[in-house]
């Protein structure tokens, strides 16, 4: 995997350098590496431009690879191929960030710097694409991978799980996601923070009544531009992710409760486990809503990612014990005191957040889904005995695959007779990133507000 190259000092980096780095990022993903990890090593002054280009390319990767194969059936060297694929994706109809001739010129410049003998070949391929673009695009889109820009197995799984929505889900993954904030009620309410955003010249609107703390920005902004972000007045968090804390704390009353059945909110001193806590958005949200009065333990198996949890809690002036541990290995970390409530935001395919992480579709393999489902089941079975009778566990995944959602919980309920899944009219079950998902109460025009999530609230009898 290549290392990101730094731009020359002074001025904006030239386009050919951005293209070269974006091509390296795409090639890293094709070799099985995380785009997030690669970008973390990209020089800060070119990272935004490289990220924007690589996101666009990864959303068009299936189509660009198909056209490259049609134009040059013999595979060029990997770094030349990655530059060609990058340029083809950015030359695709609808991508208008740069003029065609500028993009071709700068892409050929990048090839010439890396493989001088391939510059003429790259120039011929790209100029032929411009001449025959309509016909080449039409031919490529006859292939489902090129048409939908997702692996075939992914399309097949979505079609099986959501026969009425699978194409809409694939198309939703191609959209740029909104930037959504969670307003901290310890400082101010949502209307007042919206007013402060307006004063700062930042357009925003509420996400909808299902998400009482969620504000959607009209355009993404650096967090430094947000009013009092550094003082903890707001956090960046998708609206769907903001459902976990109120479900666990009892802010939402299940609709299947009998009239005389109590459903108390968790109070001060309640013992709560966040079992897979990193990067800490849900951890912090729990303490925000509870007034920082929970006895909260945040676990994660990744000690490096746990630092993000600590940073989040520190910025928001919130308390919590943070520990590196595999939640399944309870003998290594549990002190024997049962929990009132457990949040299990389980490792998953991330199939519900592809628009935010466009590399995920290309990194996952079909065998990953059953492997992840096994880990999810192991976590559920290991944590359930740690819950008090009468306690509650929220199981969450950022996935739209039923194997990681409803099928997982159906199997768990078969294994545990003392578990009951509580029912809600909204906010639980599979939440699809689609306007027609009736379970979501969204603001007008907010079809793309939410990511895809699954939630189940399990009650221990």
Same domain, 259 and 380: yes
Same domain, 141 and 243: no
Count: domains in the chain:
2
Give dist(CA 189, CA 249) in Å, integer: 19
Same domain, 267 and 409: yes
Q: Which pair of tokens denotes residue 192?
A: 């007042």
pLDDT given at position 217:
96
450 with 442: CB under 8 angstroms? yes
Domain boundary among 102, 119, 149: 149
Same domain, 328 and 425: yes
Same domain, 136 and 264: no
Q: Is residue 423 part of a domain?
A: yes
The domain in which residue 355 lies consists of 238-460
Task: Label residues 44-77 b or e (16+ Cβ within 10 Å = b).
Answer: eebeebbbebbbbbbbbbbbbbbbbbbbbeeebe
Give dist(CA 101, CA 105) in Å, integer: 6
Domain boundary among 92, 121, 149: 149
Q: Is residue 416 part of a domain?
A: yes
Cis peptide before 279 (omega within 30 of 0): yes
| Site of tokens 């892409």 | 107
Q: Is residue 45 part of a domain?
A: yes
Same domain, 299 and 421: yes
pLDDT given at position 7:
42
- Global confidence as pTM: 0.93
Same domain, 431 and 333: yes
Question: What CATH number does residue 98 fall under?
Answer: 1.10.940.10
Is the backbone of residue 253 left (phi > 0), alpha (psi -120 to 50) or beta? beta
Same domain, 400 and 251: yes
**Residue 280, CA atoms < 13 Å, CB-side half-sphere:** 28
Same domain, 137 and 262: no
Q: Is residue 161 part of a domain?
A: no
Same domain, 253 and 142: no
Give dist(CA 210, CA 160) in Å, integer: 29
Q: Is residue 162 part of a domain?
A: no
Q: Is residue 197 part of a domain?
A: no
Burial of 258 (0-12, 13-18, 19+ CB in 10 A): exposed
Q: How are strands ordered across the β-sheet holding 204-206?
A: 204-206, 214-217, 180-183, 234-236
191 with 460: CB under 8 angstroms? no
274 with 246: CB under 8 angstroms? no
pLDDT given at position 358:
98
303 with 273: CB under 8 angstroms? no
Domain boundary among 122, 149, 176: 149
| DSSP state, residue 417 | T
Give dist(CA 33, CA 29) in Å, integer: 5
| Site of tokens 């997982």 | 408
Q: Is 42 a catalytic residue?
A: no
| Site of tokens 């500028």 | 102
Tens digit of pLDDT at every position of the chain (461 positions): 665 554 444 568 899 999 999 999 999 999 999 999 999 999 999 999 999 999 999 999 999 999 999 999 899 999 999 999 999 999 999 887 899 999 999 999 999 999 999 999 999 999 999 999 999 999 999 999 999 999 999 999 999 999 999 999 999 999 999 999 999 999 999 999 999 999 999 999 999 888 999 999 999 999 999 999 999 999 999 999 999 999 999 998 899 998 888 899 998 999 999 999 999 999 999 999 999 999 999 999 999 999 999 999 999 999 999 999 999 999 999 999 999 999 999 999 999 999 999 999 999 999 999 999 999 999 999 999 999 999 999 999 999 999 999 999 999 999 999 999 999 877 788 988 876 553 444 444 444 568 999 999 999 99
Q: Is residue 318 part of a domain?
A: yes
H helix intervals, 335-404? 360-363, 368-383
Q: Is residue 6 part of a domain?
A: no
Q: Which pair of tokens denotes residue 351?
A: 């199939």
CA–CA distances in Å: residue 277 to residues 80, 282, 306, 322, 440: 40, 7, 8, 9, 25
CA–CA distances in Å: residue 434 to residues 169, 173, 238, 239: 7, 10, 14, 13
Question: What CATH number does residue 369 fall under?
Answer: 3.40.50.150
pLDDT given at position 210:
86
CA–CA distances in Å: residue 367 to residues 153, 170, 215, 379: 10, 20, 37, 19
pLDDT given at position 114:
94
Give dist(CA 289, CA 296) in Å, integer: 13
Catalytic residue among 42, 276, 348, 398: 398
């Amino acid at each position: 995997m290549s290392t990101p190259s730094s731009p020359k000092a002074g001025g904006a980096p030239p386009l050919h350098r951005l293209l070269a780095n974006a091509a390296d990022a795409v090639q890293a993903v094709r070799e099985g590496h995380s785009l997030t990890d690669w970008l973390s090593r990209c020089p800060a002054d070119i990272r935004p431009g490289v990220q924007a280009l690589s996101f666009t390319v990864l959303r068009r990767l299936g189509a660009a690879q198909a056209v490259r194969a049609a134009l040059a059936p013999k595979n060029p060297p990997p770094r030349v191929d990655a530059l060609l694929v990058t340029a083809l994706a950015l030359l695709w109809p609808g991508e208008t960030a740069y003029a065609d001739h500028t993009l071709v010129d700068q892409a050929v410049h990048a090839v010439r710097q890396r493989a001088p003998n391939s510059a003429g070949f790259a120039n011929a391929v790209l100029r032929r694409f411009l001449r025959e673009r309509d016909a080449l695009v039409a031919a490529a889109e006859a292939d489902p991978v090129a048409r939908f820009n997702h692996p075939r197995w992914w399309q097949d799984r979505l079609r099986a799980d959501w026969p009425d929505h699978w194409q809409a889900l694939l198309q939703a993954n191609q959209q740029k996601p909104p930037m959504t904030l969670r307003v901290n009620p310890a400082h101010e309410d949502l209307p007042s923070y919206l007013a402060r955003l307006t004063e700062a010249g930042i357009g925003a609107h509420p996400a909808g009544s299902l998400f009482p703390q969620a504000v959607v920005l009209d355009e993404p902004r650096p967090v430094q531009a947000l009013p009092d972000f550094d003082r903890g007045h707001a956090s960046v968090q998708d609206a769907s992710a903001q459902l976990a804390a109120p479900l666990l704390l009892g802010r939402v009353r299940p609709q299947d409760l009998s009239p005389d059945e109590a459903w108390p909110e968790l109070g001060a001193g309640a013992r709560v486990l966040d079992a897979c806590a990193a990067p800490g958005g849900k951890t912090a949200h729990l303490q925000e809503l509870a007034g920082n009065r929970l006895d909260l333990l945040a676990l994660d198996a990744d000690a490096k990612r746990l630092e993000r949890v600590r940073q989040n809690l520190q910025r928001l002036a919130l308390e919590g014990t943070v520990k590196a541990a595999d939640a399944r290995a309870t003998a290594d970390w549990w002190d024997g005191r049962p929990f009132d409530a457990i949040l299990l935001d389980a490792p998953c395919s991330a199939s519900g957040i592809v628009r935010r992480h466009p590399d995920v579709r290309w990194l996952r393999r079909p065998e990953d889904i059953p492997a992840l489902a096994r880990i999810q089941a192991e976590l559920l079975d290991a944590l359930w005995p740690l819950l008090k009778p009468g306690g509650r566990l929220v199981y969450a995944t950022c996935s739209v695959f039923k194997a990681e959602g409803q099928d997982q919980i159906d199997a768990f309920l078969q294994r545990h007779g003392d578990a009951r899944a509580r029912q809600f009219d909204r906010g639980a079950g599979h939440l699809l990133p689609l306007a027609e998902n009736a379970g979501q109460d969204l603001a007008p025009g907010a079809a793309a507000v939410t990511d895809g999530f699954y939630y189940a609230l399990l009650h221990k009898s």
